[in-house]
Homo-oligomer: A and B are copies of this chain.
Amino acid sequence: MNKKKHKQLENTLIISETSLREFTEQVFLTIGCTAAHAKLAADVLIAADLRGIDSHGTARLSGYVRLWQKGRLNPSPEIRIVHETPTTATVDGDRGLGLVVAPYAMEIAIKKAKDYGSGWVAVRNSNHFGIAGYHALLAVKQDMIGYAMTNASPLVTPTFSKERMLGTNPMCYAFPAGAYPPVVIDMATSAAANGKLEIAQRNGYSIPDGWVQTKDGTPSVNPHELKSGGALLPLGSDRAHGSHKGFGLSATVDILSAVLSGANYGPWAPPFVAYLEPHPQPVGEGLGHFLGALRADGFRPLDDFKQHMDNWIHRFKNAEPIDKNQPVIIPGEPERAATIERKANGIPVVKSVFDDLLKLANDLSLPSPNIA
């Protein structure tokens, strides 16, 4: 995206990475995070903004602050291992920021993988962890395959139901490559993520059939349907197109993240928004995550693996396209391209998010982020 294009987006302001990062860090410091935690939490949110996953970056910053104001987020958690084998562990996040708890858990997984070939850490008593890709990529930096998933506020219905039972429950698999950048599959297990509904809401568009249903379970194309008690649909959208598979994937994320760790699962998962109260009779503690690291050289020499990853990427990039102007996209490519562009030209922030940041600056008596 070039500067000209930016100017065409009337409701968007450009903020430099540095300015947005400094502001975000200051916010976390102000609510009581340690310097190290504030820096890490800001890094996770800015990574989302850089990667073009705008719904999971600083757009959520005020949400974390509101959870803290409600006393549902501990800014100075004592994160600790509560159960362990050589390659597995459960971590209690002590109601901390998932942005901090998840990287802590991933470092444990990486350490175990270094010693034994693989490491798997389930997390309970945490909060929203930002983008799954950030955590999975920590393993990739060590030439490991990274896994990251989390459960989330219930918005998605199982096939045949009209009840919101599951979050958009993302799963991420990240693979190191050689000359090519890593392959990063980072996906909500719903047909569409909530962020896509928000874009349609802002622009006044209707949405494709198969993303949401009404509170009675009728198909809908209204992007505001969730406000009327409707639900997001699992990947696959309907039974004929495999929504039972999307439900199965979402269930996998829920079970690994929360049933295994002792967090709240399914409809008990605590809401991210502070104006909704958590379930009065929880079945566990906080939100859950699941992180994993698998050494590539636990299976074949690292150079062999990387060479074949490059060959895999090269071959798939060159798969015969339907339209010559739209080649096959390797998972992770668009996010990488966005990062390069946004590091150079700044991060586009929509007006409503910027206003939210200004309000936050005012509330916390902080200087507001600079427009580029």
Which residues of A are at the interface with B, using a C-beta cutoff of 8 A?
Answer: 83-90, 116-118, 120, 122, 145, 157-163, 165, 173, 175, 183, 185, 187-189, 191-192, 208, 210-211, 216-217, 235-237, 240-242, 244-249, 251-252, 254-256, 259-262, 265-267, 283-284, 294-296, 298-300, 304-305, 308-309, 311-312, 315-316, 319-323, 326-329, 331
Bound-complex Cα distance A185 to B159 (A): 14
A216 and B294 form a contact (CB under 8 A) = no
- Chain B residues in 8 Å Cβ range of A254: 312
B86 and A183 form a contact (CB under 8 A) = no
A251 and B331 form a contact (CB under 8 A) = yes
Chain B residue nearest to A217 in the complex (CB): B322
Given contacts A295-B88, A319-B165, contact A328 B159 (CB under 8 A): yes
- Chain B residues in 8 Å Cβ range of A322: 160-162, 216-217
Nearest-Cβ distance from residue A312 to partner chain B, whole angstroms? 6
A260 and B85 form a contact (CB under 8 A) = no
A252 and B185 form a contact (CB under 8 A) = yes
A245 and B255 form a contact (CB under 8 A) = no
- Chain B residues in 8 Å Cβ range of A300: 83, 90, 260-262
- Chain B residues in 8 Å Cβ range of A217: 322
Chain B residue nearest to A320 in the complex (CB): B163
Nearest-Cβ distance from residue A293 to partner chain B, whole angstroms? 11
B161 and A266 form a contact (CB under 8 A) = no
- Contact partner of A309 (CB less than 8 A), chosen from B255, B305, B328, is B255
- Contact partner of A235 (CB less than 8 A), chosen from B145, B216, B245, is B245
- Chain B residues in 8 Å Cβ range of A86: 86-87, 116-117
A237 and B241 form a contact (CB under 8 A) = yes
Contact sample, A vs B, 8 pairs, CB 8 Å cutoff: A83-B299, A88-B295, A117-B120, A159-B329, A160-B321, A162-B321, A185-B248, A187-B242
Bound-complex Cα distance A323 to B213 (A): 14
- Contact partner of A85 (CB less than 8 A), chosen from B191, B236, B248, B295, is B295
B165 and A208 form a contact (CB under 8 A) = no
Interface centre among A163, A216, A245, A326 (most CB of B within 10 A): A245
- Chain B residues in 8 Å Cβ range of A251: 183, 185, 316, 331
Nearest-Cβ distance from residue A245 to partner chain B, whole angstroms? 4
- Chain B residues in 8 Å Cβ range of A265: 308, 312
- Chain B residues in 8 Å Cβ range of A188: 245
- Chain B residues in 8 Å Cβ range of A298: 83-85, 87-89, 120
Chain B residue nearest to A301 in the complex (CB): B83
Nearest-Cβ distance from residue A204 to partner chain B, whole angstroms? 18
- Chain B residues in 8 Å Cβ range of A240: 208
Bound-complex Cα distance A322 to B215 (A): 9
- Chain B residues in 8 Å Cβ range of A315: 165, 266-267
- Chain B residues in 8 Å Cβ range of A326: 160
A248 and B88 form a contact (CB under 8 A) = no
Interface centre among A87, A211, A261 (most CB of B within 10 A): A87
Nearest-Cβ distance from residue A203 to partner chain B, whole angstroms? 15
Nearest-Cβ distance from residue A128 to partner chain B, whole angstroms? 21
Bound-complex Cα distance A256 to B189 (A): 20
Bound-complex Cα distance A266 to B159 (A): 31
